[in-house]
Amino acid sequence: MVTQEKLSIALEQTRQNNWDKANELLAGFGIEYVSCANKDLKYINLGDTYDQTICQEINTVNQPLLFIGSWGDWYEETAREYCEVKNVVRCGYCSEFTPMNERNWQDVVCENCGNLVAG
């Protein structure tokens, strides 16, 4: 597990656009990207989806958002917010978002793959 002190130092390195140095300091597995709901996240891979690491949401309206957190938590929160705002649900088969056109989400048929989103 990475200490809070190392994360703070690594965060400062990324503020100076030294992602490779931050990755080395944290003994990471490289800099990776993940996308969800039209948002992109750059992060240092520390080996587990929910490890606290350095993350940067890179396609924000303002300056890119740099923070300490897990990419897994970011992904879940981003998907949840998107579903609420767009009134969609994520399909359990194909992982695409589809309109919430039924009262009960378990009765929704995915417009992308044709399966019930609940399985």
Domain spans in the chain, listed from the N-terminal domain onward? 4-85, 87-119
Phi, psi of 14, rounded to the nearest 5 degrees: -70, -30
Torsion sign (Cα): 53, 54, 60, 61: positive
**pLDDT tens-place values along the chain, 119 residues long:** 799 999 999 999 999 999 999 999 999 999 999 999 989 999 999 999 999 999 999 876 777 889 999 999 999 999 999 999 999 999 999 999 999 988 888 899 999 999 999 87
